[in-house]
């Protein structure tokens, strides 16, 4: 039995963070019903932004945040549509939304209304900047709230260079797991109180939390951004190898390991140097760039595979600075089900699983459940609506089933365009 089997989740989400949270809940066994308008979640056609194709039967740019959900399409601006939503919420354990609070209030789906009408519901919401202050209703995405305002861009850049260009949703998927954890905690607490609770994750706050070490240490003079030539511990840095590839090393005990690393790299003339083998002394006397320059010279003598073998043979933590194409070839991710393959019409496609492992769950299973409103008729019947009522609601413009994508981009078209 899956950990959340029997839990009902109503998902009124768009884009990545909140949908990813519901995907995780579905992986853990919850029955997740995703409510979409007639245009569908914009992510259904956002795959182009990720440089990917999208069709009704192959849309991994949507599926990777929406696997294992069932889809119903409802016009919430109609009385009949809200009647359907009311039915869904009456027996729901969890309700999740990424809509702004003022928009939820117009629909009567804000927390203050929900907790009175459906006191059993654990309510989850992703917001940009928080629930207080002048910006509580401001629009925001992970790139602006998490990466930019949350400090990720300004802190992790190599000083003097432009901010990094991240993959889409860099903060979203981590925030999604945070929200899933909060909702499960609220669900557990409901077993003691009998009442649901509200769980909110601001994207900006999540970014700050991920940046905790930088935020805490900056007040003591540890300023960011940094150049790789001035990191406080030269043995926790990146170095370019002879073949042009980068190696990442992390040896936090500098004083202990300095001589060992210098000897390993063949830089024997620096072994035992009392000016350079003490981390505090190196920092206080401005010698960081000197040590890093010596290590640059050492690593430049070896290819990445040679450097990795030397360090790993000595049990020194190090790894290549992998790209996604490198990761596909990493046997460890396959041994530990970090990546799985899903069969689409064009062949098997790769996606990451979520990183929370349950011994009882084993390898999660995944299913792509089709186009917007693919399970509308099924869900309407499940919640007590007769076929005649379902037909009437469709006629009234309250619900739709099997809504096709506008202007799909096939895999063949996409690949042909890539080759031009």
| Residue-wise pLDDT tens digits, 157-206 | 888 888 888 888 999 999 999 999 999 999 999 999 999 999 999 999 99
In eight-state DSSP terms, residue 7 is -
Residues with catalytic annotation?
Answer: 172
> Are 54 and 48 in contact, with CB atoms under 8 Å apart?
yes
**Of all helices (H) and strands (E), which one includes residue 365?**
none
Handedness of CA 106, 14, 82, 393 (dihedral sign): positive
Residue 321 neighbours by CB under 8 Å, 6+ apart: 238, 245, 246, 247, 248
Give the number of other CB atoms < 10 A from CB of residue 314: 12
Structure tokens at 407: 């202007």
Give the number of other CB atoms < 10 A from CB of residue 229: 16
How far is it, in rounded angstroms, from Cα 176 to Cα 180? 6
Give the β-pairing of 347-352 and 94-97: unpaired
Q: Where are the domains of the chain?
A: 8-210+340-418, 246-320
Give the number of other CB atoms < 10 A from CB of residue 413: 12
Structure tokens at 118: 């459906």
pLDDT for the residue 181? 97
**Of all helices (H) and strands (E), which one includes residue 124?**
strand 122-127
pLDDT for the residue 330? 96
Give the number of other CB atoms < 10 A from CB of residue 122: 25
Alpha-carbon distances, residue 358 vs 4, 24, 304, 337 (angstroms): 11, 12, 35, 12
pLDDT string in tens for the chain (420-residue length): 899 999 999 999 999 999 999 999 999 999 999 999 999 999 998 877 888 899 999 999 999 999 999 999 999 999 999 999 999 999 999 999 999 999 999 999 999 999 999 999 999 999 999 999 999 989 889 999 999 999 999 998 888 888 888 888 999 999 999 999 999 999 999 999 999 999 999 999 999 999 999 999 999 998 899 899 989 999 999 999 999 999 999 999 999 999 999 999 999 999 999 999 999 999 999 999 999 999 999 999 999 999 999 999 999 999 999 999 999 999 999 999 999 999 999 999 999 999 999 999 888 899 999 999 999 999 999 999 999 999 999 999 999 999 999 888 888 888 888 777
CATH of 8-210+340-418, one of 1.10.10.10, 2.60.120.620, 3.40.30.10, 3.40.50.10540: 3.40.50.10540
């Amino acid at each position: 039995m899956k950990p959340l089997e029997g839990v009902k989740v109503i998902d009124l989400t768009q884009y990545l963070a909140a949908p990813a949270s519901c995907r995780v809940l579905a992986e853990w066994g919850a029955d997740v019903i995703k409510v979409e308008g007639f245009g569908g979640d914009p992510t259904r056609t956002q795959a182009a932004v990720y440089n990917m194709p999208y069709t009704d039967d192959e849309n991994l740019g949507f599926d990777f945040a929406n696997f294992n959900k069932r889809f119903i399409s409802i016009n919430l601006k109609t009385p009949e549509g809200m009647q359907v939503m009311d039915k869904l919420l009456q027996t729901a354990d969890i309700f999740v939304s990424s809509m702004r609070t003022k928009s939820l209030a117009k629909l009567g789906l804000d927390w203050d209304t929900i907790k009175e009408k459906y006191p059993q519901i654990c309510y989850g919401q992703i917001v940009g900047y928080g629930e207080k202050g002048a910006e509580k209703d401001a629009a925001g995405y992970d790139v602006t709230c998490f990466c930019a305002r949350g400090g990720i861009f300004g802190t992790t850049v190599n000083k003097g260079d432009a901010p990094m260009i991240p993959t889409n949703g860099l903060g979203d998927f981590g925030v999604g797991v945070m929200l899933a954890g909060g909702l499960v905690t609220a669900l557990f607490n409901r077993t003691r109180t009998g009442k649901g609770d509200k769980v909110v994750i601001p994207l900006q706050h999540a970014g700050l939390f991920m940046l905790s070490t930088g935020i805490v240490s900056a007040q003591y003079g540890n300023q960011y951004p940094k150049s790789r030539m001035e990191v406080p511990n030269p043995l926790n840095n990146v170095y370019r190898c002879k073949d042009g590839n980068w190696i990442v090393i992390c040896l936090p005990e500098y004083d202990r390991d300095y001589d060992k690393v210098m000897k390993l790299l063949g830089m024997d003339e620096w072994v035992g140097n009392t000016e350079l083998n003490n981390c505090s002394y190196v920092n206080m006397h401005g010698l960081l760039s000197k040590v890093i320059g010596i290590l640059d010279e050492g690593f430049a003598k070896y290819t990445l595979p040679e450097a990795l073998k030397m360090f790993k043979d000595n049990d020194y933590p190090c790894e290549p600075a992998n790209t996604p194409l490198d990761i596909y070839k990493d046997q460890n991710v396959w041994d530990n089900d970090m990546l799985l393959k899903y069969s689409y019409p064009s062949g098997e496609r790769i996606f990451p699983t979520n990183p929370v492992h349950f011994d009882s769950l084993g390898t999660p299973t995944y299913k792509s459940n089709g186009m917007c409103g693919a399970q509308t008729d099924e869900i309407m019947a499940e919640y007590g609506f007769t076929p005649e009522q379902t037909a009437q609601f469709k006629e009234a413009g309250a619900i739709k089933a099997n809504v096709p994508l506008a202007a799909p981009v096939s895999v063949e078209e996409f690949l042909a365009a890539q080759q031009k």
